[in-house]
């Protein structure tokens, strides 16, 4: 019985962790973005593309390191809820 409860607790923690990570993916506010590409230079997974002077993040490649959030001089990238 104790073992089953422990497994259940671990499963709940794993699910909550996955939800928390997915919950805070960065999002670009395109009205603030100037297309400077500073975020592109610091992204370790090449998850950011700039087209027509607006940055866009590819969610499937982003590892949520938040380097882009810290780097953007316009504060245009937010850790979205
Ligand atoms: S660093 Fe900021 S302003 Fe520059 S391209 Fe990226 S999101 Fe846009
Ligand atoms: S959070 Fe990290 S991996 Fe995701 S787009 Fe920004 S710099 Fe790239």
Q: What is the pLDDT of residue 22?
A: 56
Both tokens of 24, joined, read: 């805070």
Residue nearest to atom 8 of ligand 2 (CA): 43
Q: What is the pLDDT of residue 70?
A: 96
Domains of the chain (ranges; CATH) run: 2-79 (3.30.70.20)
Give the contacts of 76 (CB within 8 A, at least 6 positions apart): 28, 29, 30, 32, 33, 34, 55
Question: Which phi and psi (to 5°) does residue 51 adopt?
Answer: -130, 135
Strands (E), 1-81: 26-28, 48-51, 54-57, 77-79
Over residues 2-61, the pLDDT tens digits come to 888 888 888 877 766 665 555 578 999 999 999 999 999 999 999 999 999 999 999 899
Q: What is the pLDDT of residue 7?
A: 83
Q: How far is the CA of 47 from the centre of ligand 1 (A)?
A: 13
Q: What is the pLDDT of residue 6?
A: 85
Rounded Cα distance between 35 and 37, Å, is: 5
């Amino acid at each position: 019985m104790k073992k089953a409860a422990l497994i259940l607790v671990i499963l709940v923690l794993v699910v909550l962790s996955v939800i928390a990570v997915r919950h805070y993916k960065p999002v670009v506010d395109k009205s603030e973005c100037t297309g400077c590409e500073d975020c592109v230079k610091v992204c370790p997974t090449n998850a950011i593309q700039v087209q027509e002077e607006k940055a866009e993040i590819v969610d499937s490649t982003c590892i949520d390191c938040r380097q882009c959030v810290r780097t953007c001089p316009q504060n245009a990238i937010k850790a979205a809820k």
